[in-house]
Amino acid sequence: MKQQRILVVDDERSLCDILLYNLSMAGYEAVAVFSAEEALDIGPAGFDLILLDVMLPGLSGYELAQKLKTDTATSSIPIVFLTAMGAEDDKLHGFDLGADDYIPKPFSVREVLARIKAVLGRTSQTHSLNQELSYEGLKLNMANKSVTADGEEIQMTKTEYEVLKLFLEHRGQVFSRQEILDRVWPQGVVVSDRTVDVNITRMRKKIGRYSSCIATRQGFGYLFVEL
């Protein structure tokens, strides 16, 4: 089972160190950035949950949340505010922006971990209700692990299926070859970057007229684009 990835966005570096340590001990893969701009640069679509402070240099946490919730590539990522702004109006504003939880500082690390687990659990249940990812006539069924293009079933390997699932879940997000390897191939399996290219080439051939949706960004990687 792959580690769930959590992005911590807070300009208080000592606090980030505490959160990163405890998240890692709890089994998560955690990354910290110190501004909203850094969060946007790192590619937030690759994370399963975002822990977000409000008072940040540059864009505020509220502004970042609004950007994420209005972008189709990141709108489904749960956001948990972790902030000193604990007034009722602040909390209501956070929830109005689409936050899944709002934790005032100072906080208990055990409580934060418990509430993260609860949010991820709810998100997982919601995702399980939606068993299909699709773009026009290209459909990926997560219940029976099948892929169809304009009604015709496509025979895919497990790896091809998982790569396509990754792209459909994060449309518009560029993934480097290494990121694709980390998220699709089992941990401990050593393969080359070329393996990613081979699987994507095969997958493009199989999905017919949707092949051009799998775009290449030279020097960066691959992404799914809506044509």
128-135 contacts: CB < 8 A, separation 24 or more?
Answer: 133/165, 133/168, 133/169, 134/168, 135/168, 135/171, 135/210, 135/213, 135/224, 135/226
pLDDT of 86 reads 83
Name which of 101, 99, 102, 97 is nearest 66 in CA terms.
97
Q: Is the distance from CB of 173 to CB of 73 less than 8 angstroms?
A: yes
pLDDT of 183 reads 85
Q: Which residue has the higher pLDDT, 223 or 126?
A: 223
User: pTM, whole model, 2 decimals?
Assistant: 0.59
Q: Is the pLDDT of residue 126 over 60?
A: no
